[in-house]
Amino acid sequence: MSSKRRKAKKRVKILIWSIVVSLLLIGAYFLYSYGIDYYRKYYACAGVKIDYYRYPVTGIDVSSHQGNIDWKEVYDSKVYFAFIKATEGENFVDKRFEKNWNEAKKNNIIVGAYHFFRFNKEGKEQAYNFINNVKLTSEDLPPVLDVELYGGNKYSEETKNKVLSEIFNCLRTLERYYERRPIIYTNVETYQNFIKGNFDDYDLWLCKLCTEPTTVKWQFWQYNHKGDVPGIRSEVDLNIFNGNYSDFINYLYRDNNGKEDIDS
């Protein structure tokens, strides 16, 4: 090979690598910009000041990420309810679910279990994963379906209707089995994209960190991701119920959360 051809080939390689690096840098810039904008929109705030006279029923939600929990200390700190991660997708079970569930109940904390919904999995199979691992009584909160654009969940305009269909299948399967209408957990972004106008009949557990939700009807509100609760070594999500103590008891024991509509 001649010297000129070698040099020309080298210049082509350099050009290709320059283009690749440039595209990667541009992509990284846009991802960074999106991340910063998202952070500023939902997280960059001083926190919400809760009116505990208006919202006295406080709770937390946990998963294996919180590690070993001293549930007696949690109860002593005036935590009244806890949502505990049970399952995810079609076969994942949180490794600390059973222990958290039993210990929380043993210490007189009202519990609810939640399932993290995977956009690329069948809704009924996800519901069966939850059903096979969660036994609910009348003294427990309704099952919760966690639907959010997080943890790898993605969609396009072509796949959105499919995702909505699988969410519906999961909700209805849970509803028919437990004879209680599930609660939907979601954040503001996912609510606007998937829940609003599609699943308005379900009680809403809404994550909104910077200001109190005033334009959406919610039953539970997750207002802090960095809570400090005795008995839990790591940061933990904080929640409140929309009502007073009597409202909470009535909500817990009401007629199986819409049982009469299950087979309609």
**Token pair belonging to 245:** 């103590």
Known catalytic residue: 235?
A: no
25-59 pLDDT tens trace: 665 555 544 444 444 445 556 678 899 999 999 99
pLDDT for res 34: 47
pLDDT in tens, 169-226: 999 999 999 999 999 999 999 999 999 999 999 999 999 998 999 989 999 999 999 9
0.75 surpassed by pTM: yes
Pick the catalytic residue: 103, 148, 166, 175? 148
Report the alpha-carbon distance of residue 17 to residue 27 in Å, rounded.
Answer: 15
Tell me the per-residue pLDDT of 94-146, one tens digit each, with 9 for 90 and over. Answer: 999 999 999 999 999 999 999 999 999 999 999 999 999 999 999 999 999 99
Residue pair 201/237 in contact by the 8 Å Cβ criterion: no
Cα 90–Cα 91–Cα 93 angle in degrees, nearest 5: 125
Average pLDDT, the chain: 87
Q: What is the pLDDT of residue 190?
A: 95
Strand 183-187, strand 203-207: pairing:
parallel
N- to C-terminal Cα distance for the chain? 78
Rounded Cα distance between 242 and 231, Å, is 25
% pLDDT > 90, the chain: 72
For residues 157 and 203, what is the distance between their CA atoms, to the nearest angstrom?
A: 26
